[in-house]
Amino acid sequence: MKKVQEYVVKGKAIFIGLEDSKKTWKVCVRSEGMIVQEVSMPAKYENLRNYLRLRYPSCKIKLMYEAGFGGFWLHDRLEEDGVDCIVTPPNKVTEEKANKVKTDRVDARRLSKNLENNDYKSCHVPDQELREDRQISRTLVQIQKDIIRTKNRIRKFLDFHGLNELVGEFRWGALNHKNLRELRLGESLRFSLNVHLDELDQLLSYRKQLKKQLMNLTKKERYCETYRYFESSPGIGWLTAIRLVLEWGEDLSRFQTGRQFSSFVGITPSEYSSGKFVRKGHITRQSHEFVRSWLIQCSWVSIKKDPVLLKKFQDVWRNTGSKKKAIVAVARKLSVRLWHLATYKETYETGLLEEQRVAA
């Protein structure tokens, strides 16, 4: 069988679909419109590299896998070894409408077929430096969730043991935090509460350190210019500005239009239309949810500072009767303006319409 395979693909282009998981990789190899081989191997890069070198030494190899689970490290390793590697968004992989079977083997087949037919969309793969710097911001997201979780545990602790009367109206200030340390409790309750308070103190310390690291990144040469453009926007402070730079990259010229960029962020409306019927639904929610939440929070502040964004909010609110839809529309407009600033190297001008910008 090996000799037949080598004869069929020798010196030709092969297209490989790889479905990755924690323990195993499913691989489907295609060439000239047919499946050459399907294999399963342990999820270790050495196994994949040896397989490609031994089985297809004289072939032009092109491989595709879905983004998400394994990040981009596999892409980097394959590119270093001379393999043309494509990373595709999972939600952009085309498949048959009637297909009701989903397995790793079927997914690998579909990826290889789409790759051979050139029916795919590829991800932008950020370089290793950006991915490592971006992890600071994403770790901050995780720490913030842990802080909220720990605070909720303390609140429930106080409720469960009837300590609200002793605490009074509680807010998470330094004084209230100190008062919790000084509550007169039994030995067991004091020990349990101290565990939660110590955990909270540690998390708050981590958050402070992470913000300090992000502040240092604002001065990094590759980020500082785009950071300056983002920070000039109304409603966007230094922290959100650098986090957006790290999530999107400092060069947004890979998006040809603002519409493409807002679609990438995931704040364009979904559409289900057929014939004369046009139905528009909720936003597509592509990309990361926390990035959209940052934009929404910044939009509430920006409408107080920029009359153009405020008018957008009022128009949509008047037409739909929904403040939620109105602020999402503002966030979409703000994201397009951020793309424009980074692409055309401009600082934000409050009250400037798009028509005025184009005319200028």
Over 60: is that where the pLDDT of 355 sits?
Answer: no
Over the chain, what is the mean pLDDT? Answer: 88
Residue 182: what pLDDT? 84
Residue 130: what pLDDT? 96
Lowest mean pLDDT among 96-100, 116-120, 264-268, 341-345: 96-100
Residue 117: what pLDDT? 93
Over 90: is that where the pLDDT of 190 sits?
Answer: yes
| Mean pLDDT for the stretch of residues 52-76 | 91
CATH topology for the 2-116 domain = Nucleotidyltransferase; domain 5 (3.30.420)
Residue 159: what pLDDT? 86
Over 50: is that where the pLDDT of 321 sits?
Answer: yes
Task: Name the percent of the chain lying above pLDDT 70.
Answer: 88
The pTM of the full predicted model, rounded to 2 decimals, is 0.87
Residue 163: what pLDDT? 83
| Mean pLDDT for the stretch of residues 290-304 | 94
Over 50: is that where the pLDDT of 358 sits?
Answer: no
| Mean pLDDT for the stretch of residues 140-168 | 88
Domain boundaries, the chain: 2-116, 128-217, 228-359
Give the end-to-end CA distance of the chain in Å, rounded to a whole number. Answer: 67
pLDDT tens digits along 264-287:
898 887 766 666 666 666 777 777
| Mean pLDDT for the stretch of residues 173-201 | 86
